[in-house]
Structure 1
Amino acid sequence: MKNKLEVCSCCGKLVPADILEISFKFPDDIAKLREPERSSRIKGNDDAVALDSTRYFVRGLIPLPVNGRDIPYCIGAWAEVGIDAYRRIYELWDDESQGNESPFQATLANSIPGHHKSNCYGLSLQLTGPSTRPDFKVTDEATELFKQQTTGITLHEVDDYNSWFR
């Protein structure tokens, strides 16, 4: 069965109508470790990990509005946070009112294809609820990812993101 195709409004290219989303399994600095070193150096789970008990990471989403769609395209990524933020996020993880917490300062911990040195972009990490991953807002205004998050992307750009992981 073939995917339904739509015409991209910016270029006329036919792109898949179903929006798949890319996701990173680990922060880059953890992904490059080999087993069993990785297992011995990290503690945590699929949503939060500590590397050598000195670096702390939280998994979340970078939402990108899609022009002409109600639902954003989200990149599943990791952010590095300080120990105090990590502890506070852990305290609030199952709290229904965690979304009321002020955003945390963070740094993107993954290299997003097509975005040079994105693994050091500044982020604002906002908790959203106990059954959803936090939202990451790019704070480095000079970056294309900030622009995309602010103004939106086309279906063509969605297809470009997905092509990196095909």
Structure 2
Amino acid sequence: MEGFTCTRCGEVHEDIPMCFGAEYPDYYFSVPPDERQLRIEHTGDFCVVDEEHFFIRARIEIPVVDSDELFCWNVWTSLSETNFLRANEKLNDPERVNEPAYFGWLQTAIPGYTNTLNIKTLVHTQVVGIIPRVEIIEENHPLIAEQQQGITWQRVIELAETALHG
């Protein structure tokens, strides 16, 4: 599908953005800005707060109905220290695709959904160089239904408008 006229800003967007994301886990913002350099270790894919809260960047993929397209959210999930260390250990290992999924709690507020913080997830490692995939497992959350059943192009536009303009 090509472009849309945004109901929020009135502009014609030639392309529909299909991926949005968060640079940091939500928990990152609970640390005062003047303390972050001392208390947080952050790379593009991993984040540790106070050496006791462990997060990994991953992707929620939502199929678009009657299409081969995926709408994506780049998000952060918490991991246990054991799974966090394992994910780091396997970062460049081609065999990491054989790892069992890691349980985590979603740590990204996703626009267009009721509360997404701390919903249950499974993090599936992918081939080296590909961001892990998140499977939502929180019962009765709208995000799990959309991930399993897909969304329409109209819903894609609605989510894009919300992500772009709040």
* Cα deviation, residue 163, structure 1: 1.4
Q: State the SS of the aligned residue for 1:118.
A: coil
Q: Are 1:112 and 2:101 an aligned pair?
A: no
Q: Which amino acid aligns with 1:159?
A: I
Unaligned residue ranges in structure 1 (runs of 5+): 7-13
Of 89, 94, 97, which residue of structure 1 is paired with 2:95?
A: 97
1:31 aligned residue: 29
TM-score by length of 1: 0.86
* Cα deviation, residue 15, structure 1: 8.1
CA distance in 1, matches of 2:18, 2:36: 28
Of 82, 104, 126, which residue of structure 2 is paired with 1:84?
A: 82
2:62 aligned residue: 64
TM-score by length of 2: 0.86
The farther-off stretch of 147-156 and 34-43 is: 34-43
Q: State the SS of the aligned residue for 1:97.
A: helix
Of 157, 160, 164, which residue of structure 2 is paired with 1:159?
A: 157
CA distance in 1, matches of 2:150, 2:31: 34
Q: Work out whether residues 77 and 107 of structure 2, in 8 Å CA contact, stay in contact via their aligned partners in 1.
A: yes
Counterparts of 1:112-131 in structure 2, within 5 Å, are 112-131=110-129
Q: Are 1:142 and 2:124 an aligned pair?
A: no
CA distance in 2, matches of 1:73, 1:49: 24
Count of residues paired in the alignment: 158
Unaligned residue ranges in structure 2 (runs of 5+): 5-11
CA distance in 2, matches of 1:128, 1:29: 25
Query: How big is the alpha-carbon RMSD for the aligned residues of Structure 1 and Structure 2?
Result: 2.2
CA distance in 1, matches of 2:133, 2:2: 29
CA distance in 1, matches of 2:21, 2:15: 19
The farther-off stretch of 63-72 and 24-33 is: 24-33
Q: Which runs of 4+ in 1 moved over 6 A?
A: none
* Cα deviation, residue 17, structure 1: 4.9
Q: Work out whether residues 99 and 127 of structure 1, in 8 Å CA contact, stay in contact via their aligned partners in 2.
A: yes
Distance 1:138 1:15, change over 3 A: farther
Q: State the percentage of identical aligned residues.
A: 21
